[in-house]
């Protein structure tokens, strides 16, 4: 009877150590996952702050038919922007701004970008001119422009016609 009690104690100790090891390994694994998730969130937040645009000025060019919006945008982030298809441009009468899509040869409902050195890369601290061509024109007192880079911080600007 003494041998079987000792054997069952040994089996219970081995099972307890095995379960404790499995639990410890799982805890370390989950802790690592949480740490990786936090690091990814911090990295995403840093990237968002590094990709930032500011509208310096906006106006309406009435020398064309129909008139179009001219928006001066400065890259105040620390990352260059070279793919303007992921740039959301909203312009129009206050409260009714429309989304414009990027096209180098802009038509109605689209916008194009001309950067200062014309290399099609909006470098940090560089200013670009965005021309947005509306599908239809509406005379209004106040207009709004909003620029939002994908995954970055955008800018809004209210202006009146010249």
Give per-residue pLDDT as tens, 126-156.
999 999 999 888 788 899 999 999 888 889 9
pTM of the predicted structure, to 2 decimals? 0.73
| H helix or E strand, kind and range, residue 147 | strand 143-149
Sheet containing 127-133: order of strands: 53-61, 68-75, 127-133, 110-115, 98-102, 87-93, 143-149, 155-159
Average pLDDT over residues 94-102: 93
User: What is each CA distance from 11 to 3, 5, 24, 132, in whole angstroms?
Assistant: 12, 10, 20, 77
What is the mean predicted confidence (pLDDT) over 116-125? 90
- Over the stretch 43-86, which tens digit does the pLDDT of each residue have? 877 776 788 999 999 999 988 887 899 999 999 988 899 899 99
Distance of CA 45 to the CA centre of its chain: 10
């Amino acid at each position: 009877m003494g041998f079987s009690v000792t054997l069952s104690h040994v089996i219970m100790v081995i099972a307890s150590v095995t379960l404790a090891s499995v639990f410890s390994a799982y805890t370390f694994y989950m802790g690592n996952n949480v740490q990786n998730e936090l690091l990814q969130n911090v990295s995403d937040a840093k990237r968002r702050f590094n990709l930032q645009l500011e509208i310096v000025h906006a106006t309406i060019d009435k020398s064309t038919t129909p008139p179009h919006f001219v928006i001066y945008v400065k890259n105040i982030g620390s990352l260059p922007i070279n793919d303007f298809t992921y740039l959301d441009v909203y312009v129009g009468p206050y409260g009714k701004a429309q989304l414009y899509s990027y096209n180098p040869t802009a038509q109605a409902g689209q916008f194009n970008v001309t950067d200062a050195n014309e290399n099609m890369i909006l470098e940090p601290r560089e200013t670009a001119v965005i021309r947005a061509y509306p599908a239809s024109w509406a005379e209004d007192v106040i207009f709004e422009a909003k620029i939002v880079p994908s995954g970055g911080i955008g800018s809004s600007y209210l202006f009146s016609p010249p």
